[in-house]
Structure formats: structure tokens, C-alpha cells
Amino acid sequence: MTQQWSAPTADGPVHATVPVPGSKSITNRALVLAAIAAGPSTLNAPLRSRDTLLMAAALRSLGVGVEDGPDGSWSVTPAPLRGPVDVDCGLAGTVMRFLPPAAALAAGDVRFDGDEHARVRPMGTILDGLRGLGVDVEGDALPFTLRGKGGVPGGEVTIDASASSQFVSGLLLSGARYEGGVTVRHVGPPVPSLPHIEMTVATLRAAGVTVTVGENVWRVEPGPIAGRVWDVEPDLSNATPFLAAAAVTGGSVTIPGWPAETTQPGGAARDLFTRLGCEVVTDERGLTVRGPERLTGIDVDLRDESELTPTVVALAALADGPSRIRGVAHIRGHETDRIAALVAEVNRLGGAAAETADGLTIDPRPLRGGQWQAYADHRMATAGAIIGLVVPGVTVDDIASTGKTIPDFPGMWSAMLGAR
């Protein structure tokens, strides 16, 4: 259900400390590995949002025990995967691309479907990759069906992963359970968001899996996956809209628990906010952004941190000079065509944005209130909220879409503003 929302306008600099829920990317990787591990696992401080709840529900339907702990943890008890099962992917790329390689280990049919917008997201690469590894797949996009035989031969497969790093990560995550392991070779334009593949490799190694990495090639050796305790970091990409509140109002926002080292692409926020003219400090309290009197424009390649594009565009639309975002052509295949959507919405409010071959340009203009369309995309919705802080009269047509990765974004946003 959509939910129209009047974006609150800040009446002064925002000063707040905002605890952010756990990383979606880490939570769903850990859930997949825990489901096919050799023993039980525990996820501490996992994200509980639509994407992760869909993953947990899908694993339960396949026979895996996923139990809620009193402290918000998840206890995962592996079991032989079974079908026939229907899996709802919602709009979650991590479910539609990470779970099929694991579900291919099931005995029985596993049918995948999702939201209307999910049916147009690219899936052919990973489904063809699974076929190359010996999996019987019916269909080339959602809805599709895996004809599970209880195991996967595995081996080597060559794919073009230039549309999404999730194609590589999805094949790697379950590869240790394949008879011959898995070797994934990429041919084509550069793979975007490489930090997400680095996250996958680090997660596999933490579970005792042997992974070797070459130039555009990744090898996972067959063998057991260890059950373990996973401590989930805060979601750094989801933190950026709250940090942006400090940037656009000249305030200060602190995110507690910001890791000293991370494989999350959101870790790039430190450099990005600095380049936009903010002061960024990391100390025992966490990471703090202090906003300047005026934001500066930015020319940046976000290929590896493309999920930050909507936040950066919102900031650029409020800066005092032109900006250019490069290297993000692949985000046309995200929850929506984010390049076209961002250009349309900035221009709807009186801005001057234009599409380029691999991104967009923003030439700041005085913005006016109006409806900001989210396109059922959580990061589009939060971008509208950022602009609404300093532009009165902005309404976001579907704030409920933020539930994909942030359980209560409107409540967190209001609490942040109330902390003034």
C-alpha cells in the first residue's frame, strides 16, 4: 500500500544522534549462508525490514528454522531444502538474486515471483548462469521456476555482470555447497558496486569457505559452510539520508556504531560529505557530519557506491554549484530507472537536471514545493524527504516504500527533527 506523506520542513539546523538499524546487505548474505551451513547460526542485530523479512520467510518455507530471539536476534537452524514452494521476492534484489542459487539445492520445484516492478528487473544473467552450472530453470525473469534435484553439479560459468554485482554475489554465496564448487568469470563492461562483491567474499571467508579472487574471476571451493555468530553492522547507506539532514540545514547528525573498517559501499559517505563541503568527524560516539553554510557542487564517479546516488542528487540539487554523477548507468535497472526518476523529480520541483549516458547532471535552481514521486523505490522516497527539509510543501507519494530497508523511516525522521 502506498502512503502519501508531507515531508516535514526543518525550522532550523538539525542536531541529533540517530541509531540506524542493521545492514540489509549483510543480513541477507548471512541468512543465506546460515541456511545452508553445517550447523546453527545466530544473527545479532539483524535488519528487520521488508527485504530481510521476505528472505527469512522464504527460507522458512524451504524448511530452514529461522527463530526470533527476545533480543531481536535470529537463530537459524539449517535443514535439507525442500519443495514445492512459492517464494515472494517483493522488490528485493537480494532475494531474487541470492536465493535461487541456494534454492537450486532443494528437492522439488521452487517458484519465484515478486512485485510488479520486480518483474522488469534484470534476471537473465543469473538464471543463465545457473543453467550453465547444471540447474533446470524455467523462465528468464520473474516469475520463474527452479526444478530442484537436491544438488547442483557446479563448475565454471562465464557471465556479463555489468548490470549488477548481485549476479556474481548470488552465484558465489551457495557455491561451496555445489559438487564442483563454482568459478564465476565476468566478461563485458566493468562490474558495478565491487565493494558488494568484496562483502560477499569476506562473508564467505568468515564462514570458513575458501575463496580465491583474480581479475574478473572468483572461485569458491566446495566444502562445508560453518555455522557461526554474525554481528550485523549498522546499514551505512541507510544512514546517509540522516547525515544529509545535517548537511542541508547546517546542523550536525551523529550515527553511533559507525565501523572503523567496512565492506559496505555506504562507508564512502565520509569522503562524499567532505567533498560536498561538510565537516566529517569519526570518534568514540560514531560518525558525525556537520553541515556548511552552503553545499558545494560535486563531480563524482559512483560506480562502486551507486546506491548513494539518490542522496547525492538530493544534496546536489540544493548546492551552490553544478554537479555531475558518473558511472551509474546500471541503476536504470534498480527498483526503478533511478536516473530517469531523479531527473524527472528534481525538474518537477523546478530544478535543472539532465540525463547523461552514464548518469546525470544537476544545475541548481531555486526549488518549489510539490509532489515527489517515489516510484515504489525506497531511496527515491528518502531523497524527497531530504529536499523537503528545506523546501516547504514537498509531499512524497509513497513513503511506505522506505519499509523495504528501514522499518520506520517516518518515525525516525520525526524523532531526528524532534531532537533539536
CA 83/CA 284 separation, integer angstroms? 48
CA 38/CA 228 separation, integer angstroms? 10
Question: Does 307 count as an annotated binding residue?
Answer: yes
Provide the strand spans (E) within 60-135: 65-68, 74-77, 85-88, 107-113
Other CB atoms within a 10 A radius of the CB of residue 210 amount to 13
Whether 335 is catalytic is no
In 207-262, which ranges are continuous DSSP H helix? 236-249
Cell 565454471 found at: 156
Q: Strand 217-220 and strand 65-68: pairing?
A: unpaired
Alpha-carbon distance values, 220 to 30, 79, 213, 355 (Å): 16, 22, 9, 39
Question: Does 174 count as an annotated binding residue?
Answer: no
Question: Does 73 count as an annotated binding residue?
Answer: no
CA 165/CA 194 separation, integer angstroms? 7
Helix (H, G, I), strand (E, B), or coil: what is residue 187? Answer: coil
Other CB atoms within a 10 A radius of the CB of residue 120 amount to 12
Question: Does 25 count as an annotated binding residue?
Answer: yes
Question: Does 323 count as an annotated binding residue?
Answer: no
Confirm if 390 and 369 have CB atoms less than 8 A apart: no
Nearest CA-CA partner of 329 in 135, 191, 136, 145 = 191
Question: Does 193 count as an annotated binding residue?
Answer: yes
Nearest CA-CA partner of 389 in 301, 315, 335 = 315
**Nine-digit cell string for 154:** 557446479
Q: Which of 233, 305, 307, 345 is catalytic?
A: 307
CA 385/CA 391 separation, integer angstroms? 10
Helix axes 50-61, 93-103, angle to 10 degrees: 20
Residue type, 57: A
Question: Does 121 count as an annotated binding residue?
Answer: yes
Give the H/E segment covering residue 148: strand 144-149
Report the half-sphere exposure of 35 (CA within 13 A, side-chain side).
Answer: 29
Binding-site members for 3-phosphoshikimate are 24-25, 29, 164-166, 193, 307, 334
Catalytic (active-site) positions: 307
Binding-site members are 24-25, 29, 93, 121, 164-166, 193, 307, 334, 338, 379, 404
Binding-site members for phosphoenolpyruvate are 24, 93, 121, 166, 338, 379, 404
